[in-house]
Amino acid sequence: MTVDSILNGVVIDHITAGSGMRLFELLKLDRMDVTVALMKNVTSRKMGRKDIIKIDADIPIDLDVIGFVDPGATVNIIKNGELAEKKSIRLPDTLKGVLRCKNPRCIVTTEQELPQIFRLTDPAERVYRCVYCETKAQ
């Protein structure tokens, strides 16, 4: 299979195999009017198998979402067909508007205008908790 190179855009590489679709959905790439390629289970010398997302447009990407799904991923910014910048991703300390609190008694269920905010409480286990009620994210 061959996927053309992009002139200006973003390549999210080194995504753990099987995590690409979740990342695609959380980044809402299906709602954008740009060409996007999602490649799953691509052979990788370093990882064995990996997923890759290529976006053929210079659009802003939420690095916190990528870090939440796969902190080992890398983001490559392509300009004029060349690698302009390579960003390493890390687990974000705070997630805003990515997850929804599952606690029916949490204030965010009655106060709809409050933002859904989760804080990293256990980096080793990648546990996030709601800042309002401390409910663990699922």
**Reported confidence tier of residue 128, pLDDT bands at 50, 70, 90:** very high
| Beta pairing partners, 26 | none
List the structure tokens of 80. Answer: 């004029």
pLDDT of residue 2: 66
Residues ≥6 apart with Cβ < 8 Å to 136: 127, 128, 129
Instruction: Parse the chain into domains and list their residue ranges.
Output: 9-88, 94-130
3-state SS assignment for residue 47: coil
Q: In whole angstroms, give the CA distance from residue 78 to residue 85.
A: 7
Are 71 and 120 in contact, with CB atoms under 8 Å apart? no
Cα–Cα–Cα angle for 73, 75, 17, rounded to 5 degrees: 35
Question: pLDDT digit string (tens) for 24-45?
Answer: 999 999 898 899 999 998 888 8
Q: In whole angstroms, give the CA distance from residue 127 to residue 138.
A: 9
Strand segments, DSSP code E, in 45-138 are: 48-55, 74-79, 82-88, 94-96, 117-122, 127-130
Q: What are phi and psi for residue 132, nearest 5 degrees?
A: -90, -40
Question: pLDDT digit string (tens) for 75-102?
Answer: 999 999 899 999 989 999 999 989 999 9
Are 74 and 88 in contact, with CB atoms under 8 Å apart? yes
pTM comes to 0.85
| Beta pairing partners, 96 | 117
**Reported confidence tier of residue 118, pLDDT bands at 50, 70, 90:** very high
Note the CATH number of domain 9-88: 3.30.70.140
Are 78 and 87 in contact, with CB atoms under 8 Å apart? no
